[in-house]
Amino acid sequence: MEAFAFNTLELTLLSAAGVLFVIQLIYWLAVYNRVYLRGRAARREETHFDKEMPPLSVILRARDEAESLRQMLPLILEQDYPRFEVIVVNDASTDDTEDVLTLLEEQYPHLYHSFTPDSARYISHRKLAITLGIKASKYDWLVFTQTDCRPASDQWLRLMARNFTSQAQVVLGYSGHDRAKGWLNKRVAFDTFFLSLRYLGFALMGKPYMGMGRNMAYRKELFFTRKGFSSHLNLQRGEDDLFVNQVANKNNTRVETDARATMRVQPVYHYKEWKEEKVSYMATSRLFRGAQRYLLGFETMSRILFYAAVVAGIACGIVDGRWAVWGIALLLWLLRYTAQAIVINLAARELGEGRRYYFSLPVFDLLQPMQSLRFKLCRLFRDKRDFMRK
């Protein structure tokens, strides 16, 4: 019995690890597991879908993306959908983008393109291009993606459109990185996947707080009623995140998780490019309304503290020769890892991810908050004007 009579330090460490374990379990089962549960409900026909398939407009912005457009536009233009148009806004490209679009227009009558003037000042060209595309669109439902994406199947539009119910005004989809060699691509893929589990999970809880322009849809009327991007026109990025943050709520937002409705993003080859994207996201996320970003920050903090308590408990037990102490601490970590691995791999399968996370999971689990902290520090030491259109 004496082996189980913990001293004050041991009791404190194990109690802290236990409380933090429960907190972590709540996040993983109540938030991150929502993606899998949503897919299972859809397969069991427990989710209401619309069957009308209204006409829609696909909008994307292109800047020096001639080769990408050659590869990805036919995949969108040949979607199995009764009536739609594709609008590409050429954002002052200097390569063959204009020629590629002109040639494709001859082959696909439902493709249209426009352009933005390079002379525009004090306004984000990304937002300007998307706004021009929206104004040029003929239909009420607008679907958005980007030139570095490829639809996972020709059912992408059908599956997104089944969520266009009478109450729906925003539909959020998933975009994941294609599998590729290299440590950087593995980091980027996990970071994108985990971020998606967060914002899709909260949306499925009725607490939407952001979306990604690589795969989302909303009504044209909603865009103009809420005055589009007028509140943050000068921000370089964040048009999709902030707009969804302002207009989405539990009554008007739907989520599509079918693997055939996902967008596959091309691999990242340069760390600098990814870092700039993440730092810009950090600058934008400060403007989010709602408690979700604080709740997610709390999850990250509880995760770090859980690891600290477990490591301290194991070390204390080994040093003192108390197997019960390090055994309980290790058991808590194993229980959390098991729940985490089950949830994350079920979600990965649901979303059509080719990767599975087992041995790499603890590494990414600790790396993700550390690299987020690094990007936040980069943002803090950058001039705020770096994120504005000049």
Where along the chain do its domains lie?
2-32+293-378, 46-289
What tokens appear for 330 in the block?
A: 């290790």
In the prediction, which pLDDT does 120 show? 63
In the prediction, which pLDDT does 275 show? 86
Helix (H/G/I), strand (E/B), else coil: 112: strand
In the prediction, which pLDDT does 278 show? 84
In the prediction, which pLDDT does 250 show? 94
Do 133 and 61 touch, CB atoms closer than 8 A?
Answer: yes
Q: What is the CA radius of gyration of the chain?
A: 23
Q: What is the pLDDT along the chain (390 residues), one digit of tens a residue?
A: 455 677 888 899 999 999 999 999 999 999 999 999 999 999 999 999 999 999 999 999 999 989 999 999 999 999 999 999 999 999 888 889 999 999 999 999 999 999 887 666 556 778 888 999 999 999 999 999 999 999 999 999 999 999 999 999 999 999 999 888 889 899 999 999 999 999 999 999 999 999 999 999 999 999 999 888 877 766 766 778 888 999 999 999 999 999 999 999 988 778 888 888 888 888 788 888 889 989 999 999 999 999 999 999 999 989 888 888 999 999 999 999 999 999 999 999 999 998 899 999 999 999 999 988 888 888 787 765 555 454
- Residue 150 host element (H or E): strand 149-151
What tokens appear for 367 in the block?
A: 């790396």
Give the span between the Cα atoms of 24 and 111, in whole angstroms.
47
What tokens appear for 352 in the block?
A: 């059509």
**CA distance to 31, 45, 59, per residue, from 36 (Å):** 10, 14, 29
In the prediction, which pLDDT does 265 show? 92
In the prediction, which pLDDT does 385 show? 58
Give the span between the Cα atoms of 367 and 351, in whole angstroms.
23
Strand bridging mode 141-144 / 56-62: parallel
Record: fold of 46-289: Spore Coat Polysaccharide Biosynthesis Protein SpsA; Chain A (3.90.550)
What tokens appear for 191 in the block?
A: 């970071």
Give the span between the Cα atoms of 145 and 112, in whole angstroms.
15
Q: Which residues contact 318 (CB under 8 A, 6 or more apart)?
A: 326
Query: pTM for the complete prediction?
Result: 0.92
* H helix intervals, the chain: 8-27, 34-43, 66-77, 97-107, 125-136, 156-161, 183-204, 220-225, 239-247, 271-285, 292-320, 323-350, 361-380
In the prediction, which pLDDT does 92 show? 83
